[in-house]
Structure 1
């Protein structure tokens, strides 16, 4: 499938960070400031909703067993299937990545706020940063990521460690990001710094708009 859109009209801030670093809390702050949020995780769920092209293709490939009684995708079943079969995993990625990308680009282009935030845990890993003008990493120590995720998802620290190990390392993300926001402190302090960043991004977006006309 070809990607129709490759250019985004808005000034885009890519927001990323590993599991448990508090991306949602920070993206909510941007939303409160009137900035449109495009969330890659939400879009990844939307492209496999009942009656979607994505879910129809998945059902044709894996059979009706991949559905829950209400017709929704059985994610646990799908994870189990692709976990043991690399070909199926590659097939699924080849199906979903273009669908997700097209929806992301459409949503970025439809944003009406002064700039738009693209939230993606795998921003750098999936090359989504190529659609961004600037990137912001929400950063906490690995020990904090583990503690927060274990508490939030009621999961084992081993499981969280394996998720962290499968993502780009914290040091590599720090190297790649244009800005880093430390989220290992009170939300009040995080908010104060975020408002300063927001003012800077408004300037960047305005400058970008002026230069593109």
Structure 2
């Protein structure tokens, strides 16, 4: 008599990426409203450097206590200005924070429920991790629009905003890596329609990979 064991369900893993200020957060919010687990590495990056965390202690040891604000939290604007002015310092920052972010992302992915998961990873292409995902979803917009949004959102001056854009993968490289693309040049209603279509498609894809 033969016995069979059912394979554990494997969620479809979607990497949501895009240049800074391209609209990733708006897209992620719509997915979340549709019930999809959304794991945002920007939020995880904040969580792993909260006061009392090993990563924050390492950052203070490496960069000094002047990277903290008056409440003892990481001053992200000051840290950003410092590392974007010096690639060597940016590498030191990433060597401390990236392993902590990946570990926490993996732990949260294990706990998440649903046919597919959205992992918001702004630096997906730069980190070389696109191959770890079933699909790469790119939120795309022009560099001119990114500059305008970034300066309005963060109060960055144009020189710093251009430095930040230059430190990221090119638009062409992101498009080459993408399986699905949302062109974010329309309205919020346009975004909602795009995401609703992808939501249905991703659920179907998840069913197919688990039926094999």
Query: What is the TM-score when the length of structure 2 is the normalising length?
Result: 0.86
How far apart are the structure 2 equivalents of 1:105 and 1:206? 22
Q: Work out the CA distance in 2 between the residues paired with 1:37 and 1:168.
A: 23
* CA distance in structure 2 between the aligned counterparts of 1:130 and 1:76, rounded to whole angstroms: 31
Q: Distance in 2 between matches of 1:28 and 1:108?
A: 17
Q: What residue is the counterpart of 2:5 in the other structure?
A: none
Residues 1:38 and 2:39 are matched in the alignment: yes
* Conservation of the 8 A alpha-carbon contact between 1:137 and 1:177: yes
Pick closer, same or farther for the CA change 1:160–1:71 going to 2, 3 Å. closer
SS, match of residue 29 in structure 1: helix
Distance 2:64 2:156 in 1: 30
SS in 2 for 1:124: helix
SS in 2 for 1:199: helix
Partner of 1:117: 118
* Structure 2 CA distance for partners of 1:65 and 1:95, relative to 1, 3 Å: same
Equivalent residue number for residue 179 of structure 1: 180
Q: CA deviation at 1:88?
A: 4.6
Contact 1:13 1:135 in 2 (8 A): yes
Match of residue 101 from structure 1: 102
Q: Is the 8 A contact 2:51 2:73 kept in 1?
A: yes
Deviations 1:7-63 (CA, angstroms, capped at 9, x unpaired): x94321110111221111111110011001111111111111011111122233344
Deviation at 1:207?
1.4
Alignment of 1:11-50 (within 5 A): 11-50=12-51
Who is 1:91 aligned against? 92
Q: Distance in 1 between matches of 2:87 and 2:198?
A: 42
- Alpha-carbon distance change, 98 to 196 in structure 1, aligned in 2, over 3 angstroms: same
Distance 1:91 1:169, change over 3 A: closer
Does residue 202 of structure 1 match 2:196? no
CA RMSD of aligned residues (A): 2.2
Aligned mates of 2:161, 2:85 — CA distance in 1 = 20
Distance 2:120 2:207 in 1: 21
1:106/1:131 CA distance change after superposition, 3 Å: farther
**Contact preservation (8 Å) 2:45, 2:101:** yes
Specify every segment of 5 or more residues in structure 1 that has no aligned partner in the other structure, as ranges: 1-7
SS in structure 2 opposite 1:38?
Answer: strand
**Secondary structure at 1:168 match in 2:** coil
**SS of corresponding position for 1:173:** helix
